[in-house]
Amino acid sequence: MMIWRRNRTYTIYLHKVCKRTTERIRFTCIKSNSGVRPVLLCSSDEVRIKIKPVFENSFTLIEYVKGIINATDLYELLCDLDSKEERGRALFPEYLSQDEVLDGLARAFHQQGLSCRRIQQLMGRSKTVINNFLRDPANYGTRKSTGRPSKVSDRDKRQIIRKASNSVASCGSIKKDLGLQVSSETVRRVIQKNPNIRRQRLKKAPAIRRENRRKRVDFARRNVRKDWFEDIWSDEKKWNLDGPDGVKYYWHDLRKEPRYFSRRGHGGGSVMVWAAFTSTGRVKLAFVPKRMNSAQYQFVLRRCLLPFYRRNPNRQLEFMQDNAPIHVSRSSRAWFMRHNIRLLEWPANSPDLNPMENLWGILVRRVYAENKQYQSVGELKQAIVRAWHEIDQETIDNLILSMDNRIFQVIQRNGGPIDY
C-alpha cells in the first residue's frame, strides 16, 4: 500500500460511461505540525495515477484507490471540505452520492482491520449504523415490506387505474367489470393512492351540438379584436325563497344535534328577474313575469333599457341577449330596429360566454349567504335589489375583461365548453 508523499500531487482519472468523457481530479496531501492537510491543486508538476477501469459504485473505486493512497488519508481529504456537496464534487463529481462514498470508506476501513468503534470515530456515525452496514452491505438501507401481501397484483392495479381514468364508474362497477375477488373498498384505496386521479364533482356545461360548436368558433373568430366595453350584457334568472337547488354544507359539531335544511313545495315560491350591465354601470333591475311573451319583454326593455340609451347617446353600444324565443321573435327584432338598437349576434347554447351568468353567481352567494331562506316574495325582492346595488364597478370590469380569455378558450377547444 502506498502512503501519501510530501508535496506530491495525485491525479485520478474517472471515465464517464454515459458521456464517454474523462474527469480528472488532482489533490495533494501536505504534512504540517497540526496533521495532514489535503489541498486541491491545478499544477503541471504532478504524479499521475491513471484509473482505466469503469467503476459501478464507490466500493470498487475506493478498493482500487486504497492500493495507491491510504484510506485514512482519503477520508481526511473528504472531511477537510466544507460541505457534503463540495466533498462529492471534489472527489467524485457527477458519479457518486455522499452516502455511496461513505459506504465505500466503511468497507475500506473494515478490510484494513479497524474495529467498528474506530470506524465509528473516524466517520462520525453511530456504532449501530456501522454494524448494520457491515453485517449485510448489499441489503442495507432497503426497507422490507411488512404485513399481509396485497391481494391486488400490479397488473390489476393498472387495470383499475385505466378503468377509473376520467370515468363516472363506481368502485363496485369497476370491481365487477374486471372480475376482481376483492372488496370495493380495496378498489377505492388503489385509486386514492394514484396521484393523477382524484374524486371531484362534475362541472356543469351546456349541451352543445356539432353545428353549434362551429357557430361558436365562427363567433369567436369574428370578435377576437372586439372592444367588449361597448356592449350591454343581459339575462333573466329565477329566484326561489328557499335558495338555489344544490347540496347544502355546514360545519357539524359532533357534540351537538345535527342541523337540517327544510324545503317547501316548489321552493316556497319564486320570482323572475331581468338585469343588465355595461362598462359604465348597472342597468335598472326589473321583476318580470315567470312566463313572459314578446310584448311583456318589450315593455321591460322600454322601461329599463331605453332610459340607459338616452343617458348615453354618443356611445355605439351593442345589446347582448340570448336566443330565447321572446328575444328573437319578429316583433322583438322589429322593436329593436325601430329604436336603432344594434344587436350582438349570439351563438346558441352559450351561457358560458355570457359574463352576466357569473354576476348572477355573485348575487346568489350574497342573497343566500349562510343558507338564508325567505318567508315572503317581498322580502326576497328587497334582498335581491340590495345585493344588486352593492355590486361594485371593479367586479363588472373584471367580468368584461374576462371576455378575451373566453374567446380564446372557445377557439382553443374547437367550440367546446369553457371554464366559465
- The verdict on 105 and 230 lying in the same domain is no
Query: Which band of pLDDT confidence, cut at 50, 70 and 90, is reported for residue 51?
Result: very low
Contacts of 213 (CB under 8 A, 6+ apart): 414, 415, 416
Separation of alpha carbons 392 and 399, rounded Å: 12
- The verdict on 172 and 267 lying in the same domain is no
> What is the rounded average pLDDT of the residues 332-345?
92
Of 302 and 259, more confident? 302
- The verdict on 189 and 221 lying in the same domain is no
Query: Which band of pLDDT confidence, cut at 50, 70 and 90, is reported for residue 409?
Result: very high
- The verdict on 277 and 131 lying in the same domain is no
Structural domain includes residue 100: yes
Q: What is the pLDDT, as a whole number, of residue 407? A: 93
- The verdict on 279 and 403 lying in the same domain is yes
Buried b (16+ CB within 10 A) or exposed e, 310-330: eeeeeeebbbbbbeeebbebe
C-alpha cell of residue 347: 351563438
Query: Which band of pLDDT confidence, cut at 50, 70 and 90, is reported for residue 111?
Result: confident
Of 187 and 102, more confident? 187
Buried b (16+ CB within 10 A) or exposed e, 53-77: eebeebbebbeebbebbbbbbbbbb
Count up the domains in the chain and report the number: 3
Sign of the Cα pseudo-torsion (171, 177, 182, 187, in order)? negative
- The verdict on 220 and 246 lying in the same domain is yes
Digit-coded pLDDT (tens) for 14-25: 443 333 444 444
Digit-coded pLDDT (tens) for 348-394: 889 999 999 999 999 998 998 877 888 889 999 999 999 999 999 99
Q: What is the pLDDT, as a whole number, of residue 103? A: 66
Q: What is the mean pLDDT of the chain?
A: 76
Q: Are 371 and 245 in contact (CB under 8 A)?
A: no
What is the extent of the structural domain holding 171? 154-193
305, with CB counted inside 10 A (0-12, 13-18, 19+), is: buried
Q: Are 374 and 380 in contact (CB under 8 A)?
A: yes
- Taking the whole predicted model, whether its pTM rises above 0.85 is answered as no
Q: What is the pLDDT, as a whole number, of residue 43? A: 35
Q: What is the pLDDT, as a whole number, of residue 400? A: 93
Query: Which band of pLDDT confidence, cut at 50, 70 and 90, is reported for residue 344?
Result: very high
Separation of alpha carbons 37 and 42, rounded Å: 16
Structural domain includes residue 406: yes
- The verdict on 214 and 189 lying in the same domain is no
Q: Are 356 and 233 in contact (CB under 8 A)?
A: yes
CATH assignment at residue 163: 1.10.10.10
Q: What angle do CA 298, 407, 392 make, to 5 degrees?
A: 60
